[in-house]
Chain A
Amino acid sequence: MAEINNCSISEVAEFFEHLSPKGKNEVVSSKIVQEIRKRVSFLIEVGLGYLSLGRQSTTLSGGEAQRIRLASQIGSGLSGVMYVLDEPSIGLHQKDNQRLIHSLKKLRDLGNTVIVVEHDEETILNADFIVDLGPGAGDSGGRIVASGPLKTIVSTNSSITGPYLSGEKTIFKGTQKTVTSKTPKIELVGAIGNNLNNITIEVPVGVITCITGVSGSGKSTLINETFVPALKNSLNSKSNRPKNYEEIISAGNTKYLVNIDQTPIGKTPRSNPATYTGLFNLVREVFSQTPLSRERGYAAGRFSFNIKGGRCEDCQGEGSIRVDLNFLPDVYVPCDTCKGLRYNNETLDIHYRGKNIAEVLDMSISEAQAFFSAIPAMATKLTTLADVGLGYVKLGQSASSLSGGEAQRVKLAAELAKRNTGNTMYVLDEPTTGLHFEDISWLLKILVKLRDQGNSLVIIEHNLDVISRADWIIELGPGGGKYGGNVTAVGTPRDISKTNSATGDFLRSVVLDQI
């Protein structure tokens, strides 16, 4: 049992394919095995063949959890239902994505309406009907720019999506840095974690390196579980973790390592983008300097919703009270005393330029950008947040409600706001998650800027636009699970597009178009 639980779903499928029980067991098991085979095949169809059955649901990414539900829906065979999906393509390699689109179409052909919120080009191109919202984000959005089949979208001038789809406009392209044999490289020798087959990689310093490969090929194992801790060890020389690699040979001027992953920025609802980036300290400082608060003797701490003094004591500054409903999910009700404002009335008396602290927390980042433009320290922080495409997020939005991609971009912004060192290795895990073409353009500009300041970047990515704009690509594969774990291609995007690797095939069209 435990062994099957640890197998990947593709392996389970194979196991049950060859399973032929004898005698009495054949009759008993045939129905059960049939059910198992059916479920397993749906999971493979939505591109989850690499997961193991024993994998805890809490450790799944949002996209994976979503695809599991999708698999069970396809299995249920209902018809006449309206399915609403939120970016199902997240975290999928182009190859797996085609399978996903296939399953969505299958769901449609069963007689269902499938509505997908999506940025992925391939999915959009495959849609029967497209709705383009815009033109901007937040307040400047919320209008339908175009709706109809692909033709209509492409021919609508005001659409920002259209030009990208028709190839008229392309995502920002910086100059590419060439990697030569003289470029210093960090060498990781003999990585063996999970499914990695004792592989050695060289990560060039001072350029953007993209790690790609089909789902389950070992990208995360290689980077998040091997490369990052290994480099951390060699930079700080301490850790008692078991090594799953032979050695790491550092080179170049890399002194710091910053890992910008998709783990949440805080476990409690008390953490938010403002507290994480340190922006909130400045906001509190500003409020404590207003005449009224000086008169009353309020210090910066008064404006924190985490400590006694200024916060509403009934909800302890959370703004909502959790009601435990036993078997139903917990319900949060707004606090009666402060009406969800998190502060007591005395604190809310203090206004800065006509807004009190609760109203500031309710501002979106773009609004705050205009509001605090006169204070340089805050303006820089807010600009970096807006630059990574987070302009629509509220300052006080609780960290637990941010998606993985948003959390990652908050971290990225916090890093960008720090003083640049020029010798840092940034590791990013799928930074384009949930981003529109236009947003990706912005993001790429930032990444290229970081590189041009002398930093190195390692990005795990599926997005072809990002891959094609990287300076160096390492592809893992060829398959997922036990069929992966090898380096299948290394080189510049142009080199890769000439190979027969999984990425190469898809990259060929993109590279030929654009270079």
Chain B
Amino acid sequence: METITVKGARTHNLKNVDLVIPKNKLVVITGLSGSGKSSLAFDTLFAEGQRRYIESLSTYARQFLSVLEKPDVDFIEGLSPAIAIEQKGRNQNPRSTVGTSTEIHDHLRLLFARTGEQRCPRHGTPLRAFTVSDMVEFIFSLGLNGRILILSEIPLSNNQQLNELLDRLKAQGFFRVRIKGTTFDLEDNPVIEFDDIKSIEVVVDRLKITTPSKNRIVESIEAALKINSSGIHINELKEDKNHFLSKLKVCPHCDYTAPDLDPKMFSFNHPSGACSACEGLGEIEAFDEGKIIAHPSLSLASGAISGWSRSNPFYYDLLTSLSAHFAFDLDTPYEELPEEIKKVILHGSGQQKVEFRYRARNGGSKQEVHAFEGVITNFSRRYQESNEPAVKDSLSKYHQYACVPRM
């Protein structure tokens, strides 16, 4: 079938239209604004294509999809599966970006995670993790015929366990331990007189680096890693030089370690990658002083803060009582007020109670003593408490999206 045939389309303002459109061609529908172009293209052709597709699904799947209205058309023949690329209905989620919707962002994350190099933030040197063969290579790089200890660290919580631990190690067939740099022979049943021992190192092997001993080195390293999987210590006996070969990524100069890179770390939508202040949105919704104080050159009485001037009796009463308490003049231009006063006006009087006098409608007045909440606090409270979209809308005028630079 080489054509799409439409007969008797009456959607919206279409006047019983018959039409034959060739397939596999670039077709343009044109006409005045409101002449029915979209009614024909979207509400008839696309809607019918979509509807037929949904009808072909099982009833089970269909219950999750909204039922589309059947377009008002006598018959359409030769429809292909339809995909609409509309301008409306774009994603309203602030977390969606050009990068995420094209999936380029996902690929970039992968690229950064897989090919990134981790460096120590203090020394700038690349972090390094050792595999067993890396460790062997490292040991051989110390020079043939050197004598070394291969040690494994065992953390300790308190002194009491120490003797038990030593007994157990002895039973397992280990001969020596090193505690705070001193080597003890387990056979001698040593008396150890250190307080605050945090960890001991058990000597897994003592050997000379030679080519034939390579297998023994590998076995010893693996044995040492069985005791502590995070890495092994090497001691060069001649110079008494210590090396820590870590299985986790670690800075060779300090103990800085970092977990392996993961694509989610490079996502601003995942807690492990996103800035904690703005949760990865790059901006924070907050009331902006500059927008609330619309006219800093005016006085409070004449409307420095819109809505809080003389024309609004309630808020003006608040300000009058405030000015009596803190001794400032409502007729001073806002920008000339002292900083403390400005702070009170915007952020409230805190613990300090102020005597407020409210005029009632009948001409009388009422007195109350309470703290002043502050204009910004008032706005954000009303913004959060209100359910009326109109109130939210009018308050959001004072909103400002601030970008928070953070390392």
Task: Write the B16-46 contact mask toward A (1 if CB under 8 angstroms, else 0).
Answer: 0111111111111111111111111110011
B32 touches A86 (CB 8 A): no
A84 within 8 A of B: yes
Task: Write the A368-399 contact mask toward B (1 if CB under 8 angstroms, else 0).
Answer: 00000000000000000000011111000000
A154 to chain B, nearest CB (A): 13
Q: How far is the CA of A267 from the CA of B392 in the complex (A)?
A: 11
A32 within 8 A of B: yes
Least CB separation from B13: chain A residue: A142
Interface with A: B78-86, B139-147, B204-212, B308-316, which one? B78-86
In A45-93, which residues have CB < 8 Å from any B CB?
A: 48, 51-58, 60, 62-63, 65-66, 68-73, 80-88, 90
A117 touches B39 (CB 8 A): no
B105 touches A161 (CB 8 A): no
In B370-397, which residues have CB < 8 Å from any A CB?
A: 389-390, 393
A36 touches B104 (CB 8 A): yes
B140 to chain A, nearest CB (A): 22
Known contacts A60-B98, A66-B85, A80-B81, A113 near B32 by CB under 8 Å: no
A5 within 8 A of B: yes
Known contacts A32-B114, A53-B99, A268-B393, A389 near B33 by CB under 8 Å: yes
Q: How far is the CA of A240 from the CA of B294 in the complex (A)?
A: 10
Size of interface on A: residues with Cβ below 8 Å to B: 102
Interface with A: B89-97, B190-198, B249-257, B318-326, which one? B89-97
A134 touches B31 (CB 8 A): yes
A131 touches B40 (CB 8 A): yes
Q: How far is the CA of A256 from the CA of B115 in the complex (A)?
A: 56
List of A residues within 8 angstroms of B88 by Cβ: 62, 401, 403
Q: How far is the CA of A32 from the CA of B266 in the complex (A)?
A: 15
List of A residues within 8 angstroms of B100 by Cβ: 57
B107 within 8 A of A: yes
A455 to chain B, nearest CB (A): 25
Known contacts A142-B35, A144-B17, A127 near B104 by CB under 8 Å: no
Q: How far is the CA of A85 from the CA of B295 in the complex (A)?
A: 47
Q: How far is the CA of A63 from the CA of B90 in the complex (A)?
A: 10
A105 within 8 A of B: yes
B41 touches A117 (CB 8 A): yes
A117 touches B37 (CB 8 A): yes
Least CB separation from A133: chain B residue: B31
Q: How far is the CA of A57 from the CA of B97 in the complex (A)?
A: 5
List of A residues within 8 angstroms of B37 by Cβ: 117, 133
A4 to chain B, nearest CB (A): 6
List of A residues within 8 angstroms of B105 by Cβ: 5, 53
Task: Write the A127-139 contact mask toward B (1 if CB under 8 angstroms, else 0).
Answer: 1111111111111
List of B residues within 8 angstroms of A58 by Cβ: 90-94, 96
Interface with B: A289-297, A433-441, A467-475, which one? A433-441
A28 to chain B, nearest CB (A): 5
Known contacts A32-B111, A144-B19, A57 near B28 by CB under 8 Å: no
B102 within 8 A of A: yes
List of B residues within 8 angstroms of A72 by Cβ: 101-103
Which of A4, A56, A68 gathers the greatest number of chain B CB atoms within 10 Å?
A: A56
Least CB separation from A104: chain B residue: B26
B31 touches A114 (CB 8 A): no
A127 touches B27 (CB 8 A): yes
Which of A62, A143, A306, A403 gathers the greatest number of chain B CB atoms within 10 Å?
A: A143
Q: How far is the CA of A440 from the CA of B265 in the complex (A)?
A: 50
| The residue from A52, A81, A124 contacting B83, defined by CB atoms under 8 A apart | A81
B333 within 8 A of A: no
Known contacts A1-B108, A36-B111, A118 near B28 by CB under 8 Å: yes
Q: How far is the CA of A87 from the CA of B87 in the complex (A)?
A: 8
List of B residues within 8 angstroms of A142 by Cβ: 12-15, 17, 35-36, 39
- Interface majority SS (helix, strand, loop, mixed), chain B: mixed
Q: How far is the CA of A144 from the CA of B10 in the complex (A)?
A: 12
- Interface majority SS (helix, strand, loop, mixed), chain A: mixed
Q: How far is the CA of A130 from the CA of B19 in the complex (A)?
A: 11
Size of interface on B: residues with Cβ below 8 Å to A: 76
In B348-407, which residues have CB < 8 Å from any A CB?
A: 389-390, 393
B189 within 8 A of A: no
A141 touches B36 (CB 8 A): yes
A39 within 8 A of B: yes
Task: Write the B170-192 contact mask toward A (1 if CB under 8 angstroms, else 0).
Answer: 00000000000000000000000
List of A residues within 8 angstroms of B46 by Cβ: 82, 84
List of B residues within 8 angstroms of A83 by Cβ: 82-85
List of A residues within 8 angstroms of B103 by Cβ: 39, 72
| The residue from A86, A143, A328 contacting B85, defined by CB atoms under 8 A apart | A86
A192 within 8 A of B: no
Known contacts A114-B27, A436-B31, A68 near B107 by CB under 8 Å: no
A77 to chain B, nearest CB (A): 13
| The residue from A53, A116, A331 contacting B97, defined by CB atoms under 8 A apart | A53
B93 touches A5 (CB 8 A): no
A434 touches B39 (CB 8 A): no
List of B residues within 8 angstroms of A132 by Cβ: 30-31
Known contacts A1-B266, A142-B14, A306-B390, A108 near B31 by CB under 8 Å: no
In A331-386, which residues have CB < 8 Å from any B CB?
A: 331
Known contacts A28-B115, A36-B107, A141 near B25 by CB under 8 Å: no
B155 within 8 A of A: no
Which of B14, B19, B33, B93 gathers the greatest number of chain A CB atoms within 10 Å?
A: B33
A188 within 8 A of B: no
Known contacts A58-B91, A127-B27, A131-B29, A240 near B104 by CB under 8 Å: no
Which of A53, A68, A82, A85 gathers the greatest number of chain B CB atoms within 10 Å?
A: A82
B102 touches A113 (CB 8 A): no
| The residue from A1, A86, A128 contacting B27, defined by CB atoms under 8 A apart | A128
Q: How far is the CA of A86 from the CA of B97 in the complex (A)?
A: 22
A89 to chain B, nearest CB (A): 11
B93 touches A114 (CB 8 A): no
| The residue from B12, B33, B42, B85 contacting A70, defined by CB atoms under 8 A apart | B85
B285 to chain A, nearest CB (A): 14
A115 touches B21 (CB 8 A): yes
Task: Write the B136-164 contact mask toward A (1 if CB under 8 angstroms, else 0).
Answer: 00000000000000000000000000000
Q: How far is the CA of A51 from the CA of B99 in the complex (A)?
A: 10
A90 touches B85 (CB 8 A): no
Q: How far is the CA of A72 from the CA of B85 in the complex (A)?
A: 11
A29 touches B82 (CB 8 A): no
Please list the residues of chain B having a beta carbon within 8 angstroms of any beta carbon in chain A: 4, 12-15, 17-42, 45-46, 49, 64, 66, 79-88, 90-94, 96-105, 107-112, 114-115, 266, 290, 295, 297, 389-390, 393
* Contacts A/B (CB < 8 Å), 21 sampled: A1-B108, A25-B114, A53-B102, A54-B98, A66-B87, A68-B102, A82-B4, A83-B85, A84-B83, A108-B26, A115-B45, A117-B30, A123-B28, A128-B22, A130-B30, A133-B29, A133-B31, A137-B35, A141-B36, A436-B31, A439-B33
In addition to A55-B97, A306-B390, 9 A-B residue pairs with Cβ atoms within 8 Å of each other are A35-B107, A36-B104, A56-B97, A58-B91, A104-B26, A131-B21, A131-B40, A160-B31, A238-B295
Please list the residues of chain A having a beta carbon within 8 angstroms of any beta carbon in chain B: 1, 4-5, 9, 12, 21, 25, 28-29, 32-33, 35-36, 39-40, 43, 48, 51-58, 60, 62-63, 65-66, 68-73, 80-88, 90, 104-105, 108, 111-119, 123-124, 126-139, 141-145, 147, 160-161, 238, 240, 267-268, 270, 306, 328, 331, 389-393, 401, 403, 434-436, 438-439
Interchain residue pairs A-B with the least CB separation, the first 7: A392-B34, A62-B87, A53-B99, A137-B34, A133-B31, A141-B35, A128-B25
